[in-house]
Amino acid sequence: MANQVLSAASCRVFIVEDDPIFADYIRCILRGMDIPSELSLSAEDAIDKLAEDADFQLILLDIMLPKMSGIEFASYLKQHQQLKNIPIVFLSQLTDHEQIIKSYDIGALDYITKPVHAELFRAKIKSLTQNILANEEFRAESSKYQHLFNKLQHVILSCNDGLLEVNEQLEIIFVNPAATKMLDLAPISYQGLSLKELICYEELINIDWQELKIACKNCDQSFNKQVQFWHRSADGQKRLLSLQLLITEQSKKHFYIQIADITPKGSQSDYFYNSENIDPITGLVNHNCFIKSCESMLKQNEGGQYSLALIVVNIARFSAINDRFGHSVGDRILKRVAVRLKLVLSAFDVISRFGNDEFTILLDNKLRWGVSKQISIIENLFTEPLVFDDVAVHVSINIGIAMFPQCGASFSLLYQSAKIALESAKEDPVKAYYFYNDEIDQISRFYLRIVELFDSALANDEFTMNYQPQYNLTTGELVSVEALLRWHSPEQGQISPAVFIPIAEESNYIIPIGNWIIERVLSDIASLKHLLSNKIRIAINLSTKQLKPSNLSNLVQLIEQTMSAFDFDNDMLELEITEHSLLSNTDDTLAQLDKLRDKGFGIALDDFGTGYSSLTYVQKLPIDRLKIDLSFVKMIGKDSKTQEIIKLILELSKSLGLTTIAEGIETREQFDFLTQMGCEVGQGYLLSKPLTLERLTSALATTPAVFTHRLASDTES
């Protein structure tokens, strides 16, 4: 096929030569090569003939023609759409140097000197025609591909599904218009952002970044997990979007991600705002609507575990910008600022244009590190100027922040506090944001730093486990140990889990940390199996995020795999869950816990008494142990009401067939009271502090697993 296409015979040659004898001579050679040719004795005649038939692959053109010269004729050809691509080879006397140079300037392919030597002429024509035809074939192929490319480009640019192109590191390379619209990306540059950064402020439902990266790395075509998240778009609607990684054989380090809108029908309408509540310039809610939303959110969060943050953002020198660039640019700036701000908010934050050049944001359920992170992102949104047509406007902002409930319990108090903070920000030429209260700023920075340190803590094995024995209070027998996480950070020193676990929860790091705990605890306990004469239970604390149905199924899988790898029976493991975590999880969680119990795992309700569980609620829970919180135990001997409550809890527990554990036993008085009241199991500094694995191992090796010795010799420090 290739040879046939490339044979000289598929080439037609047009000759312009005023010497008929010479012309006949070269036509004769061409005929001998099976190359058809046409002849014109003048440029004028050639123009007429080519107007009728331009299907030639080569023009042999005499430089010296009467009237219109060869060079002039070549210039004419180059100006005509249909003729300009036909290669020209000049025929010239050897002495025509100047003309030959000119011919190259015009775009001649080559030249042949007269008189021609038949053999040389043949060889040259053969090589020229082959090159020309190869070029033509290449052009035809390219145009086929160009056509296909245009079609694909059209599909990618106009389809309703969003498409992102990413590399192996999940960094964004290309975003199609549908994805730009779905994710409200239009005003920002996504170049250099990773997918994780792009959607980090969405409400993610299920995502495992590591899993996605591994799938890309291995070009795993069978990978078909969908990631879902809620996105609140610039038009005030909340949409459920799904991301699906498309990996094909051709992927080779570049992957496509399809984004689809899978919002259930009817769920959008809740998020539509009535037009009288909307600011017509920015499309954000206005001052009235914002205050109403805030008041209801503050009410819902009264006594809540998390803080809310009211943020006031003010555009610096906005009136000067208005004066200089005019009101229409001013309005466009407000619009752009609104879109940029929205971009960094989660689906549940509220943002408004509160007035003139002031925007307000209520950040929902963020721990303080989250606020700090968001503030630095908001600040960075305005490092690049906003460009309108060809005018670049540098916009700078000042930010005031007030935390709820610390800086005020009502909207008006919070707003006043945030405005005071804003004034400080306006006066400071360097720092663009101020918290109402300096201490909060410091705490928030600390929280942010802790989150930054989690990765290295995991990578450098900075976490360890301690084990606190739990004893049968009547027989003194060791019945179980509770695994407690410890973190010694080289930078921050020893940090209490009571401090960092909630931060790990909020930042989702609890998932990898939680997995690490399972593997470490079971491998630790496996190492001292030979010292355990009786079967003891290992209690592991689970936190709220780990109990979310989507996370829990992965966790259960990991637990089962690790248990069987170390050859443990399921009834050796007890999972401690808190009342709080059950309150914020669903029936699905309860169903999954129920299944775990069916498989023989133990479930304990930790910190009992600190939540709001009613007795009937406890009855429904799939648990076998109840842990009385140490805040109750502390009050023994000090507060008779608390003692009554402990009695009630013990009775309740007994009637439900549950075992009760008292935690935080520090004194002999507490111990005696609990034993008399029939509490079966206890833990606390009086009996044993949490021990490192080494100390637990040596304690088990040297003394029987009974605490009576310790009680006799009293506590160790």
CA distances from 491 to 140, 456, 457, 513 (A): 65, 11, 10, 19
Closest approach, Cβ 289 to ligand C2E, in A, equals 39
- Does the footprint of ligand C2E cover residue 484 (CB under 6 A)? yes
Q: Is 685 in the site for ligand C2E (CB under 6 A)?
A: yes
Residues 538-577 that bind Mg ion (CB under 5 A): 541, 576
Contact partner at residue 43 from ligand C2E, Mg ion, none, CB < 5 to 8 Å by partner kind? none
Cβ proximity to Mg ion, 524 vs 576, nearer residue:
576
Residue 716's identity, in one-letter code, is: E
Alpha carbon 306 to its chain centroid, in Å, reads 24
Give one DSSP letter per residue of 444-513, joined into a string. Answer: HHHHHHHHHHHHHHHHTT-EEEEEEEEEETTT-BEEEEEEEEEEEETTTEEE-HHHHHHHHHHTTTHHHH
CB atoms within 10 A of CB 425: 21
Residues 39-68 that bind ligand C2E (CB under 6 A): none
Q: Please, which residue, 346 or 541, has the CB nearer to ligand C2E?
A: 541
Q: Determine, following the binding rule CB under 6 A, whether residue 538 of this chain makes contact with ligand C2E.
A: no
Nearer to ligand C2E by Cβ, of 408 and 684: the residue is 684
Does residue 543 touch ligand C2E according to CB under 6 A? yes
* Interface stretch with ligand C2E, choices 252-260, 441-449, 552-560, 663-671 (CB under 6 A): 663-671
Q: Is 247 helix (H, G, I), strand (E, B) or coil?
A: coil
Which residue of this chain has its Cβ atom nearest to ligand C2E in the complex?
Answer: 684
Site for ligand C2E in 329-388 (CB under 6 A): none
Among 10-18, 370-378, 534-542, 653-661, the segment contacting Mg ion (CB under 5 A): 534-542
- Residue 226, H or E segment: strand 226-232
Q: Give the nearer residue to ligand C2E in terms of CB position, either 407 or 501.
A: 501
Query: Is residue 525 near ligand C2E by the rule CB under 6 A?
Result: no
Q: Which is nearer to ligand C2E, 443 or 485 (CB)?
A: 485
Q: Which range touches ligand C2E (CB under 6 A), out of 321-329, 343-351, 495-503, 671-679?
A: 495-503
CB of 478 to Mg ion, least distance (A): 17
The β-bridge partners of 387 are 392
List CB contacts of 698: < 8 A, sequence separation 6 or more. none
Q: Which does residue 360 bind out of ligand C2E, Mg ion, none, counting CB within 5 to 8 angstroms by kind?
A: none
Instruction: Determine, following the binding rule CB under 6 A, whether residue 74 of this chain makes contact with ligand C2E.
Output: no
Give the nearest distance from C-beta 717 to ligand C2E in angstroms. 13
At 509, list the tokens.
Answer: 């790091």
- Using the minimum distance from each CB to ligand C2E, give the nearer residue, 441 or 574: 574
> Tokens 């050809």 map to which residue?
77
Does position 468 interact with ligand C2E (CB under 6 A)? The reply is yes
- Distance between CA atoms of 254 and 172, rounded to whole angstroms? 10
Query: Binding mask 562-581 vs ligand C2E (x if CB under 6 A, - otherwise)?
Result: --------------x-----
Please, are residues 60 and 16 in contact by the beta-carbon 8 Å criterion?
yes
579 interacts with Mg ion by CB under 5 A: no
| Span 621-650, contacts to ligand C2E by CB under 6 A | 630
Among 37, 56, 684, 700, interactor with ligand C2E by CB under 6 A: 684
Provide, rounded to whole angstroms, the least separation between the CB of residue 532 and Mg ion.
21
Shortest distance, position 476 Cβ to Mg ion, whole Å: 22
**Sign of torsion, CA 429 431 436 438?**
negative
Which residues, including other chains, have CB under 8 Å from residue 173's CB and lie 6 or more apart?
165, 166, 167, 254
Beta strands of 279-422 (E only): which ranges? Answer: 307-315, 350-355, 358-366, 386-388, 391-393, 397-404
Residue closer to ligand C2E by CB (options 357, 607) is 607
Cα separation, 507 vs 201, in Å, equals: 11
| Site membership for Mg ion, residue 466 (CB under 5 A) | no
Name the β-bridge partners of 129. none
Considering only 607, 646, 650, 660, the residue that binds Mg ion (CB under 5 A) is 607
CB 638 to ligand C2E: min, Å: 15
Q: What is the DSSP string of 566-627?
A: TT--GGGEEEEEEHHHHHTS-HHHHHHHHHHHHTT-EEEEEEETSS---HHHHHHS--SEEE
Nearer to ligand C2E, 408 or 682 (CB): 682
Stretch that binds ligand C2E, among 49-57, 58-66, 446-454, 477-485 (CB under 6 A): 477-485
Q: Any contact of residue 714 with ligand C2E (CB under 6 A)?
A: no
Q: How far apart are CA 584 and CA 544, in angstroms?
A: 8
DSSP assignment letter at 384: S
Q: Interface with ligand C2E by CB under 6 A: which range of 18-26, 37-45, 312-320, 679-687?
A: 679-687
Separation between Cα atoms, residue 521 and residue 500, nearest integer Å: 19
Rg (the chain; Cα; Å): 40
* 357 touches, from Mg ion, ligand C2E, none (C-beta below 5 to 8 Å by class): none
- From the CB of 672, what's the least distance to ligand C2E, in Å? 15
CA–centroid distance for 97 within its chain: 66
Q: Is 209 left (phi over 0), alpha (psi -120 to 50) or beta?
A: alpha
Residues 6+ away with beta carbon under 8 Å from 65: 16, 18, 42, 43, 73
Closer by beta carbon to Mg ion, 62 or else 576: 576
Greatest pairwise CA separation for the chain in angstroms = 132
Size of the site for ligand C2E (CB under 6 A): 24
In the shown chain, the binding pattern of residues 588 to 607 toward ligand C2E, with x for contact by CB under 6 A and - for none, equals ------------------xx
Element (H, E) at 650: helix 640-655
Q: Which of 85, 173, 666, 715 contacts ligand C2E by CB under 6 A?
A: 666
- Given candidates 17, 62, 506, 606, which one binds Mg ion under the rule CB under 5 A? 606
Which of 312, 338, 501, 596 lies at the binding interface for ligand C2E (CB under 6 A)?
501
Q: Alpha-carbon distance 222 to 709, whole Å?
A: 60
Contact residues for Mg ion (CB under 5 A)? 541, 576, 606-607
Contact residues for ligand C2E (CB under 6 A)? 468, 483-485, 496-498, 501, 517, 541-543, 576, 606-607, 630, 663-666, 683-685, 690
